[in-house]
Structure 1
């Protein structure tokens, strides 16, 4: 029973993250109520049960039958599983929190190739109290400011993300994560064969940190 509760708490958090990434900063995250993006039908409570509503409705709107993107189902499942891993001590609280926070930043970066500073500030503030690698955090902030002022090839958002990660992961793991992320980015470039395109780098950093977290 406790596992079910934790899973649905995580899935509900994932549903909220999906809403925030869809609306913020262009729209309010409070109003209007959750609705279909196509026909604007306001969702009833039984249409908003994380994971199960999409499975029962086959990821389609009950009224207009337009397909609901599978990313919402993925986000809910992912966050639910992260909470289960925390419950069963595969992750500590700081790691579970950072992984869910990272997913939010990753979705923003994929959508805009940036993310609102307010999202980073709100998500990072709890990490300041959970972490202890403050010197590395300060270095990440300094590099983010430098990237903003000097317009470096790597965006300030990437350094801000690394600064957040450095609060709970040691410097050696951060360096290894950067190396893995660069390798993943290079592979992506070679596969896509479009060497002039700009890519979101936070997703590669997220995947690399996720990988290192589970092989520790």
Structure 2
């Protein structure tokens, strides 16, 4: 029963993350109330039950029938699973915060290839209070600032994200993470020739590299 409650709490956070990704940075996350983006109908409580509402409605709006993106339910499921894993002690608080930040920031990166700075700052402050900073964190922040000044191949957002990852991995594993992410990006380009001239979100590859270094190579 406790695990179910923890999972439900996680899905609620996932639902909130979905709202943040959907509205920011163009609209307020407070008002107006949750509504269908197509018909404008205000959603009722039964339309906003994490995972369950999307399953019961077959990922369609009950009022106008428009198809709803599946990523809402996936986001809720990921956050619910993450809360349970953390509750069972499989990961510590630092990794849990980094994974929560990753879910939110990767969502923004997939949506618009950028994320609001305040999202990164919130998790950076939380990690600063719970985990001692190491030189890699400051190194990534310095490089992020330099990318805003110089014409480097990686964006400042990628280095800010690497700064968060540095709270839980050292320089060697951070380098390995970057290497795995780069290989993943190259493989993606190789399998998708039409994307070679298009910009791709890099944070998903960094997240995969981080998880590999954390659970496979560490």
Q: Secondary structure at the match of 2:122?
A: helix
Q: Which residue of 2 aligns with 1:12?
A: 12
Shift of the alpha carbon at 1:181? 0.2
Matched with 1:210 is 211
Deviations 1:166-196 (A, max 9, x none): 0122222211110110010000011111322
Could you tell me whether the CA contact under 8 Å between 2:51 and 2:77 is conserved in 1?
yes
Segments of 4+ moved more than 6 angstroms: none
The answer for unaligned runs of 5 or more in structure 2 is none
Quote the Cα distance in structure 2 between the aligned partners of 1:91 and 1:212.
14
RMSD over aligned CA atoms reads: 1.1
Taking the aligned partners of 1:99 and 1:186, their CA distance within structure 2 comes to 24
In the other structure, the counterpart of 1:199 is 200
Q: 1:77 and 1:48 mapped to 2: Cα distance?
A: 14
C-alpha displacement of 1:211: 2.6
- Counterpart CA distance in 1 for 2:7 and 2:212 is 21
1:74 aligns with: 74
State the match for 1:29 in structure 2.
29
Instruction: State the SS of the aligned residue for 1:161.
Output: helix
Contact 2:10–2:82 under 8 Å retained in 1: yes
Q: What TM-score, normalized to structure 1?
A: 0.96
1:213 is displaced (CA, Å) by: 2.6
Of 30-39 and 167-176, the range deviating more from structure 2:
167-176
Name the residue aligned to 2:43.
Answer: 43
Distance across 2 between alignment mates of 1:108 and 1:13: 16
Q: Indicate the larger mover: 185-194 or 130-139.
A: 130-139
Q: Residue 177 of structure 1 contacts residue 209 of structure 1 at CA under 8 Å; is this kept in 2?
A: yes
TM-score with structure 2 length normalisation? Answer: 0.95
Partner of 1:3: 3
1:212 to partner: Cα distance: 2.6
Per-residue Cα deviation, 1:75-127 (whole angstroms, up to 9, x for no partner): 00000001111111111121111101111111111111111111111121101
Number of residue pairs matched by the alignment: 216
Tell whether the 8 Å contact from 2:97 to 2:123 is kept in structure 1 after alignment.
no
- Cα distance in 1 for partners of 2:120, 2:50 equals 25
- Three-state SS of the structure 2 residue aligned to 1:19 is helix
Residue in 2 that maps onto 1:60 = 60
Does the Cα contact within 8 Å between 2:47 and 2:53 map onto a contact in 1?
Answer: yes
Judge conservation of contact 2:14–2:80 (CA < 8 Å) in 1. yes
